[in-house]
Amino acid sequence: MSMFELKGKTAVVTGAGSGIGAAIATVFAKQGAHVEILEMNEDAAKETVGAIEAAGGSAAYALCDVSKQDEVMSVFDGIAERREKIDILVNNAGIAHVGNVLNTGEEDFDRVFSVNVKGVYNCLKAGVGKMAESGGGVVLNIASTVSLMAIDDRFAYSMSKGAVLTMTFATARDFLKQNIRCNCVCPGRIHTPFVDGFIKKNYPDNVDEMFEKLSKAQPIGRMGKPEEVATAALFLCSDEASFITGCAYPVDGGTVNIR
């Protein structure tokens, strides 16, 4: 058996229609896992599933709003019934917001909270419950470097990712005896379609200049790639990481510790 093998495992990845989630789903499928994608964007979900299947992997998708607990519970019940057990849960779905405490409106705050915090809670409640019933599993939450440090104008987003970090610690502690591990990765700035859209929307007259500026904000001198987060996720969800739980791993080009 090769290292980081996931053959025979079922992995649920939320928000896997694009970016980091799609990269994680693709890498897990390549390593032999059957991947269940939870998405709100059906076209994006179909694209990821199609790419996985074209490469010889196994995947399916379900439309799911992670902020709605009844919906999440129903989807997880269906997956557990079809697949018999859930081995891996990756809580990736999330939204961003730019603003400080004074210019962040209540509606924006609630929207970020509902997806990034309540959504993770809902999926933890459903996924950890299934794992506890079936003898264990692995949870990986996608937090952020802003859960470990401050940057400008990310008040609500930082709040939400700080909650993801502490939910990681709590879940790891509470379910040690149920053979459930829980860790998180804290990506820095990763080059995803969101970043391109953000630059185009906010800096339409100097896209290239802003891309270079944001890239060089990382000490390593560039943005990360979704695949680089995915390989870290693969390690933490593999049996090779069986002695690791309750940890936060920056995947950030040195942003947290050597900036």
What are the structural domains, with CATH classification, of the chain? 10-188+225-251 (3.40.50.720), 190-223 (no CATH)
Confidence bin at 202 (pLDDT 50/70/90): confident
Catalytic: which of 61, 121, 157, 249? 157
Other CB atoms closer than 10 Å to residue 114's CB: what's the count?
Answer: 17
Question: What value does the mean pLDDT of the chain take?
Answer: 97
Cα separations in angstroms, 248 against 82, 142, 147, 185: 32, 9, 10, 5
Model's pTM, two decimal places? 0.97
Residue-level pLDDT at 1? 63
Extract the tokens encoding 79.
């997956």
Say how far apart CA 185 and CA 45 lie, in whole Å. 23
Helix axes 19-30, 42-54, angle to 10 degrees: 30
Catalytic-residue membership of 157:
yes
Identify the pLDDT of residue 125.
Answer: 98
**pLDDT tens digits along 80-127:** 999 999 999 999 999 999 999 999 999 999 999 999 999 999 999 999
Q: Is the pLDDT of residue 198 over 90?
A: no
Q: For residue 224, what are the β-bridge partners?
A: 190
Work out the average pLDDT over 178-195.
Answer: 96
- Is the pLDDT higher at 2 or at 189? 189
